[in-house]
Amino acid sequence: MKNKNTTLFEKQLLNEALRQSFIKLDPRMMFRNPVMFAVEIGTAIMLIVCLWILSGENNQGSFGYNFVVFIVLLLTLLFANFAEAIAEARGKAQAESLRKTREETPAKKIFSVGEMYVNEIKVVPSSSLIKGDIFICEEGDIIPTDGEIIEGLATIDESAITGESAPVIREAGGDKSSVTGGTKVLSDKIKVQVTTEPGESFLDKMIALVEGASRQKTPNEIALTILLAGFTLVFIIVCVTLKPFADYANTPITIAAFISLFVCLIPTTIGGLLSAIGIAGMDRALRANVITKSGKAVETAGDIDVLLLDKTGTITIGNRKATHFYPATDVNEKAFIKSAALASMADETPEGKSIIELSHLKISDFIIATPTFIKFTAETRSSGIDFENTRIRKGATDAIRKLTERAGNIFPVEVEQKVNIISSNGGTPLVVCENEKVIGVIELQDIIKPGIQERFQRLRKMGIKTVMVTGDNPLTAKFIAEAAGVDDFIAEARPEDKMNYIKKEQSEGRLVAMMGDGTNDAPALAQADVGVAMNSGTQAAKEAGNMVDLDNDPTKLIEIVEIGKQLLMTRGTLTTFSIANDVAKYFAIIPALFIASIPALRPLNIMNLHSPESAILAAIIFNAIIIPLLIPLALKGVAYKPIGASALLRRNLLIYGLGGIIIPFAGIKIIDLFVSVFI
Amino acid sequence: MNTEIPGIILMFVAALALAIPLGKYIAKVYTQDKTWLDGIFGPVEKLFYRISGIDPTTEMNWKQHLVVMLTLNMVWFLLGMFVLMNQHWLPLNPDGNPGQSAHLAFNTSISFVVNCNLQHYSGESGVSYLSQLFLMFLQFVSAGIGMAAAAVLFTALKERTTDKLGNFYNFFLKSCTRILLPISLVVAVILVFNGTPMTLHGKDTIISLQGDTVQVSTGPAAAFVAIKHVGTNGGGFFGANAAHPFENPNYLTNITEMIAQLIIPFAIIFALGFFLKRRKFAWITFGVMTIGFLALVIPNIFMEANGNPAIAAMGIDMSSGAMEGKEVRFGAITSAFWSIVTTVISTGSVNSFHDSFMPLSGMNQLLAMMINCFYGGCGVGILNYFIFVILAVFISGLMVGRTPEFMGKKIEAREMKIAMIIALLHPFLILVGTALSTALPAYTSATLNNPGFHGFSEMLYEFTSSAANNGSGFEGLADNTPWWNISTGFVLILSRFLPIIGPIAIAGLLANKKYIPEGGGTLKTDTSTFGLMVLAVILLVAALAFFPALTLGPIAEYFSML
């Protein structure tokens, strides 16, 4: 999936898009796009003129010429429709291929009998599952639909969705309880509750969005449509008033010439490509394996000022590892190591496991009567074990300090110093206490991902502030933040800290993006302007965010921002190009309109076009074919380069502004040479 | 010839040199800092405020500003109608001039209220001294309204979120008393000492060298001519405007009047920079406008200095340039310079006949008014420019991949809608007005001085001048007819008030939005790249809207002449 390169124009897509181009000629659909609607009216008028000539009118030029004008205008419409249709078809194909994997897979549904769920399992098709149903999946099964594990743990191959071949572990409870339809269970057995109604999964929503049924114009698209409608109005005024002007100058102008002038001048290029650009933005997000819930989210991503990134997995590789044990003075080293290992017995986190590993002790050797395992919570920020009269806790320095000081014990000075040394070296100190007395420190170390500095450098050039979020203490956080090159960090972060940070930045007018997976990330994901939930995350997180990343790749935010910027830039540059084109079109058509009556205006024909008819045809043909020629650019997007806003503006002005003035001069001249052969 | 070029450079540089400190002073006036004139005007203002019950410290939102602005204008318009139609029996009419017809009074009153001064009468015979004095009052207050509107814009663009945008009465009165009045006083004194009359006596009688007895109109001209330039009004005391020897007796008064009309449009740009502490933005703005100005004025100087090839072909010497319709005491180059200055800023006073300029010079005068924001009129020039800034910000924001923002405020659909309507209005009024005039030859053909392309230019010029609130004429047109008086009258109203309402509304909406501090990805608006973008938008909109019309007017005339 990930590396599958759909070529721009696959045959099947082309056929579908061609069919749609005709369906979209329906004026009710056209009305949504004022520029192309104006062209449609012009086309209709030309059709009437053609019929009029057939019925005997002879002041409007030959039938052949008028008919060609009609055909070219019709083609202009079809090309614009085709652009939209091909973008839709591509998005749909992309999403369908994701969806197909989960359709009609057999599901082992559990039927409840009375109040109890007994294992009465029947195999039903996945499409019959509704929200709330429970099914089980065993080794080798394809998971039939999206859901949340309510019992068990399994290794799952998600390569069908993410393209990542390494299996992942998903288990009930916690933040990794979500499973996606179409993925395969490799081992163990899980009980899963369905979380979406059929046809309402994120993919379904996205397909609806792409198809246009629920596609709404984004605020920026609306503003741009106003601009384009404004230009269309200017040219209506210009063309309508030209009639009395021409009459005053005794210059008859044919209807075909009027309509051609009008269609050429209004911004048909951007008007025809506008919706394709928007859809292509969502397509590109999907190609990056990100499902967007609205077009607006992609657009907003381009505007992001602040990026909140989790340290673990984004900035550092996976998890921290225990590297050293430092017992407090007058504590036996072996006893300390044993206590540390005991405290980590039930700790399933990679950090916990690495402590056991470093201790070189075997858990199975421990014989403990009636142990109570204390789980880590975000509030206590410590975990451990209680047995007999012993209470062992390990946790963040301040959490343990609170614990010991509350019991009336002092936090040893040398442990304090050790903690500071570890922290300032980028390590994470984990303080261990037994019966509320500090017995030593475990050092955990982080490894920063290679290449992450360059990515942050790029973000800084784009004007985006990066913020690292970590549960580490400030000293450790600072060390890693500096090493990785992030601009700011939130240390010892609790879920509400993230939320507060986002609110603070937003109150200062900045747009914030963040990525999250856990249920306690949900409020922050909802608060953030762009919230990207990991597909492996909880249902709550996925509901709260406005994008879902199928790859669970925390660095994906950076790509999303670039996709958003590309979307806006493609709109801006094609608008500029479209309007700049008018200069050349004027020089083609205006002399053509007046030369016959006012021969003195001949020097205005600077392109030296063959005849008034060929000039007008060349201009409208250029106007029509520029649309399909620009479809690839509209779909791929204009390349974003983080070189600073002013430099970017200069560059795009040069390419699309100046280029937009020069290219049509050449294009119209070439087409005129071609057309003049036939006239 | 040799001294003409240094002469115009001197005028431009002197105006700029005076405008920078004046801009600083204007910013000070609008930030409510104390100025040295407070001692003189403060007590008088206080008295007025107490009598009228207005509290000048109450802050208004943008809608309240507009209500006050429109109400004041309505009152002045009605008063103007009354005075002009009844001037024959009202006092101060020593020459016994008759009252104006209703349609002429309508046109005259509106055109002075809106700072345009499109005059379809001659000052000598069309108005009494009382009317002249009332029109002079309108010249003050209409300029004051424009400046007050600019002050509202400045206040709205500050880095904060608010709907409190100062007090309109306060901005308006301060503009008149602290800025316009003192400058006009200086200009008037210079004029008086150079021979411009300042009297309430009626016509003078002189005996010419040939022994004929000649009646010469005089009147309170010096004061009138001063504010006509300082307030970029442009309405002449006499019919021949600044070409008249009493209005503009010599080269020194020509310099004075030139500087007088340039100084406030220049200064208001720098005032924006000082007021918002964005001096670089002000300089970029000034740069963009100056490039546009030079692009219009330099070709004109060349064309006028080279003279008319058709006349040269008849063997007539053209070494002093195309002198038809120009004053010998000013010369072809100075007149060409003046003709563009008076059209880019919406003064509309003329020291030569624009009708007689070379076809493409006439086109540049038209273009100057069609663009209408290179410097522009007193206060309103910067409002027009602001509309183009909004459009440029929108397009260039998209081009750098960011939803557009200006001065820390996001530009969204609503602002775009208003900006687009205002940008559309100008070509709409000009083209539709001209189109109606060409389509209704029954009303217009008899009023044209020339047939063909030049006649078309005359009509196009009349509506362009009205829509730009400029007031100059392509003087060939016999324009005191109900058709011209009424049609241009409505164009004047729309083209004055909508382009004030629009920018103020946008500014008010922006002021209400959350302020976003500039970040690394923000497109800076005080760079030459952005300036270029604004210039491109301005030129493109003008070119696209007016190219066909100009082709049938001056361009066709030019190519026919070759």
Q: Which one of B395, B523, B551 has the shortest CB-CB distance to A590?
A: B551
**B523 chain-A contacts, CB cut-off 8 A:** 645-646, 649
With CA atoms as reference, the chain B residue closest to A648 would be: B400
**Radius of gyration over alpha carbons of chain B, in Å?**
23
> Is there a contact between A594 and B408 if contact means CB atoms under 8 Å apart?
no
Q: Which residues touch B279 (CB under 8 Å, ≥6 apart)? A: B270, B273
Give the Cα separation of A648 and B524 in Å (integer): 12
Q: How far is A167 from chain B (nearest CA, A)?
A: 38
Mutate to test the interface with B, among A216, A217, A218, A226 (most CBs of B within 10 A): A226
φ/ψ (deg, to 5) at B195: 110, 0
Is residue A336 within 8 A of residue A355, CB to CB? The reply is no
Q: How far is A31 from chain B (nearest CA, A)?
A: 19
Q: End-to-end CA distance of chain B, in Å?
A: 25
* B553: DSSP letter: I
> What pLDDT does residue A542 have?
80
B402–chain A Cβ distance below 8 A for any pair: yes
A310 is catalytic: yes
What band does B262 get if pLDDT is binned at 50, 70 and 90? very high
What per-residue string of b and e applies to B305-335 under the rule 16 or more CB within 10 Å gives b? bebbeeeeeeeeebeebbbeebbeebbbbbb
Q: How far is A468 from chain B (nearest CA, A)?
A: 19
Give the Cα separation of B80 and B87 in Å (integer): 10
> What pLDDT does residue B385 have?
96
Q: How far is B383 from chain A (nearest CA, A)?
A: 19
Give the Cα separation of B490 and B118 in Å (integer): 12
Q: How far is A572 from chain B (nearest CA, A)?
A: 4
> What pLDDT does residue A378 have?
67
φ/ψ (deg, to 5) at B372: 60, 20
For residue A469, what are the β-bridge partners? A310, A490
B463–chain A Cβ distance below 8 A for any pair: no
CB within 8 Å of chain A, chain B residues 488-527: 514-517, 519-524, 527
For residue A326, what are the β-bridge partners? A441
Q: How far is B16 from chain A (nearest CA, A)?
A: 28
Amino acid at B213: T
Residue A104: strand, helix, or coil: coil
Give the Cα separation of B308 and B2 in Å (integer): 20
A230–chain B Cβ distance below 8 A for any pair: yes
Query: Which range among A348-352, B264-268, B321-325 shows the weakest confidence by mean pLDDT?
Result: A348-352
The ipTM is 0.89
Query: Which range among A502-516, B64-78, B104-118 shows the weakest confidence by mean pLDDT?
Result: A502-516
> Is there a contact between A220 and B456 if contact means CB atoms under 8 Å apart?
no
Give me the average pLDDT of each 10-residue run along chain A (679 residues): 48 86 88 90 95 88 92 95 89 73 71 63 79 84 83 78 67 77 80 78 67 67 89 92 91 91 93 89 84 81 85 72 86 86 79 82 74 77 84 87 87 87 82 89 82 82 84 81 88 82 85 79 85 79 83 78 88 93 92 89 91 93 95 90 86 93 95 90
Query: Which range among A35-39, B69-73, B135-139, B315-319 shows the weakest confidence by mean pLDDT?
Result: B315-319
Amino acid at B511: A
Q: What's the length of chain B?
A: 562
Active-site pick, A146, A310, A529, A553: A310
Is residue B123 within 8 A of residue B238, CB to CB? The reply is yes
Q: What is the pLDDT of residues B353-408, one digit of tens each?
A: 999 999 999 999 999 999 999 999 999 999 999 999 999 999 988 888 887 889 88
- Number of CB pairs < 8 Å for A and B? 204
What would the mean pLDDT of B24-47 be, rounded to a whole number?
90
What band does B195 get if pLDDT is binned at 50, 70 and 90? very high
**B394 chain-A contacts, CB cut-off 8 A:** 223-224, 227
Q: Which one of A248, A569, A575 has the shortest CB-CB distance to B401?
A: A569
Our separate counts of H helices and E strands in chain B read 21, 4
Give the Cα separation of A101 and A415 in Å (integer): 55
**A465 chain-B contacts, CB cut-off 8 A:** 519
> What pLDDT does residue A538 have?
73
CB within 8 Å of chain B, chain A residues 487-516: 508-510
Q: Is the pLDDT of residue B25 over 90?
A: yes
Is residue B476 within 8 A of residue B355, CB to CB? The reply is yes
> Is there a contact between B552 and A247 if contact means CB atoms under 8 Å apart?
no
> Is there a contact between A572 and B527 if contact means CB atoms under 8 Å apart?
no
Q: Is the pLDDT of residue B38 over 50?
A: yes
Is residue A180 within 8 A of residue A143, CB to CB? The reply is yes
> What pLDDT does residue A523 have?
82
> What pLDDT does residue A4 have?
43
> What pLDDT does residue A1 have?
36
> Is there a contact between B411 and A652 if contact means CB atoms under 8 Å apart?
no
> Is there a contact between B552 and A464 if contact means CB atoms under 8 Å apart?
no
Is residue B530 within 8 A of residue A223, CB to CB? The reply is no
Which residue carries 């939130």 as its tokens? A490
B412–chain A Cβ distance below 8 A for any pair: yes
Amino acid at B397: G
Q: Is the pLDDT of residue B453 over 80?
A: yes
Q: What is the pLDDT of residues A200-223, one digit of tens each?
A: 666 666 666 666 655 677 778 888
For B208-325, where are the E strands, in sequence order? Answer: 213-216
Structure tokens at A441: 């420190």
Closest residue by Cα to residue A270 from A582, A651, A7: A582
Q: What is the pLDDT of residues B400-442, one digit of tens each?
A: 888 788 988 888 889 999 999 999 999 999 999 999 999 988 8
> What pLDDT does residue A544 have?
82
Mutate to test the interface with A, among B402, B407, B440 (most CBs of A within 10 A): B402
> What pLDDT does residue A5 have?
45
What band does B468 get if pLDDT is binned at 50, 70 and 90? very high
| Mean pLDDT (chain B, rounded) | 92
Burial class (CB in 10 A: 0-12, 13-18, 19+), B89: exposed
**B412 chain-A contacts, CB cut-off 8 A:** 219, 223
> Is there a contact between A237 and B428 if contact means CB atoms under 8 Å apart?
yes
> Is there a contact between A248 and B438 if contact means CB atoms under 8 Å apart?
yes
Q: Is the pLDDT of residue B178 over 90?
A: yes
> Is there a contact between B412 and A219 if contact means CB atoms under 8 Å apart?
yes
Q: Is the pLDDT of residue B94 over 60?
A: yes
